[in-house]
Structure 1
Amino acid sequence: MRKQGTVRRAQAARTKAPAWPAFTLMLVWAGLLIAGVALGRLGWLFLPAALLLNLVTFFVYWRDKFAATKGAWRTPEDTLHLFGLLGGWPGAWFAHQILRHKSAKQAFRNVYWMTAILNVIALGAWVLLPWLPLPH
């Protein structure tokens, strides 16, 4: 059980970041997915797969939050970041906002944003750079 002072410090550390950077990046990401399908750079299955990955990512964050409250086995932070890097970062963002999980650790948030940006850059390069080989 945490002391009240610890809870207050954790709540004070959670600065409410504006949502527009995340939503803007999500729009770019979704646009790249749709453009990738339209241009034939991605198969149509990428769209439902991206949705499923984000739902799974949210669930993994929820499970980790639940484990944290019960003192049970936790999901390693590297695993959470891997989900984000693979494209589950929008689901992770919603988990940060809704569950208030991993939203106070600035170091975690910094790595989270790096994974989100790297994912969008890689997706953009794949979709928009024609010299990259297409899968067969």
Structure 2
Amino acid sequence: MPRLFWQVLSYYLIAVNVLAFVLMGLDKRRAKKNAWRIPERTLFLPVIFGGALGGVAGMRLFRHKTRHWYFQYGFPLLLLLQLAGAGWCLWRFRG
């Protein structure tokens, strides 16, 4: 695959992971202030689309959404699936 594809993919993954991390932090801050919250669906979207590492890191660092089973198990499961997919891509398209 062309080098440009891998560069664009890398930038995309960095952006979606930062977005997932920031959303978890913002929602935690809003929860502490009893302010308007970010919908859970919105928290899941960047995680589903490649931002599982940022979502898991945000969940752990901010200690946010750790009691909800679908976050507690869903985010790490999505992370494992994404890592497996990345490993497969690296193996399949190496060289």
Name the TM-score class by shorter chain. 0.7 to 0.9
Structure 1 residue 76 corresponds to structure 2 residue 31: no
Q: Which runs of 5+ in 1 are unaligned?
A: 1-38, 131-136
For the aligned residues, what is the CA RMSD?
A: 2.4
The equivalent position to 1:52 in structure 2, one of 10, 15, 20, is 15
Decide whether aligned partners of structure 1 residues 57 and 107 sit closer, same or farther in structure 2, where only a CA change above 3 A counts: closer
Deviation at 1:96, TM superposition (A): 1.7
Preserved CA contact (<8 Å) 2:24 2:43: yes
Higher helix share: 2
Q: Which runs of 5+ in 2 are unaligned?
A: none
1:50-83 CA-partner distances (Å, limit 9, x unpaired): 1122111111111110111111121122221221
Preserved CA contact (<8 Å) 1:85 1:118: no
Whichever residue aligns with residue 40 of structure 1, its letter is P
Structure 1 residue 103 corresponds to structure 2 residue 77: no
Whichever residue aligns with residue 97 of structure 1, its letter is R
Residue matched to 2:48: 85
Structure 1 residue 40 corresponds to structure 2 residue 16: no
Percent identity over paired residues = 26
Preserved CA contact (<8 Å) 1:61 1:95: yes
TM-score (norm 2): 0.74
Deviation at 1:114, TM superposition (A): 3.1
How many residues in Structure 1 have an aligned counterpart in Structure 2? 92
Decide whether aligned partners of structure 1 residues 129 and 113 sit closer, same or farther in structure 2, where only a CA change above 3 A counts: same
